[in-house]
Structures are given as C-alpha cells and as structure tokens.
Amino acid sequence: MATYKNKSVGAHVHAGKVIAPGATFDAKPTPNLEKLVKAEILQLASAGSAAAASGGDGEDKAALVTRAKELGVPNVGGNWGIEKLKDAIAEAEKASGGYDSNGAT
C-alpha cells in the first residue's frame, strides 16, 4: 500500500472517491497510478516505488499547464514536459501579440 497526494489543480476520482487537490489517499500501486505519478499529477507520499517519485525540477508544472490552457494551446496536458510547456506558452504569447491575460507585455 502507498499513500498518494493529488498535486493537480483539479479533483480526481479514485476507487469511487473524489480526491481534492492537495488531499491524500492510500492505494495499492498500479500501472495507472504510476502513470499519474510520472505525469506529476499525483505525488507518491510514502512507500511504493521510489523510481516513480523521482523527478521534478522545482517548476510549478500545474501552473504552466493552466497558463497554456488559458492561451488556447491545443492538446496541452500534464504529460507534457516543463520545457515543452514553456515553449508552447512562449509561442502562444508571441502569436497573441505578447500580451498576457492581464494585458501586460
């Protein structure tokens, strides 16, 4: 059994329970949960696979995904890497005339 933490900005459903952002739940490690850990949607909080818990460079990936969605980047998701997200955001901001959602350049 392992304890997982929902790192995303949205709620997830696991085993019929809604897991709010920041909430934890206990589950047996499965391939599906391991994929969510690798996508940085869930964080392995204790036990389970140490390899799945590795990674992350301090960037707030959820914020980058949210920003990319605000800019209308197609097919953006948590499975994108930090650099790909930054590049897509830069291209979308450039295409929109360099203005962010607050009207600043």
pLDDT at 100: 52
pLDDT at 98: 56
Give the pLDDT confidence of 26-70 residue by residue, as tens digits. 888 788 877 887 777 777 776 543 333 334 444 467 778 888 888
C-alpha to C-alpha distance for 94 and 18, rounded to whole angstroms: 38
Q: Which residues pair with 17 in a beta bridge?
A: 14
C-alpha to C-alpha distance for 60 and 67, rounded to whole angstroms: 11
The SS3 assignment for 14 reads strand
pTM for the structure as a whole? 0.40
Work out the pLDDT band at 96, boundaries 50, 70, 90.
confident
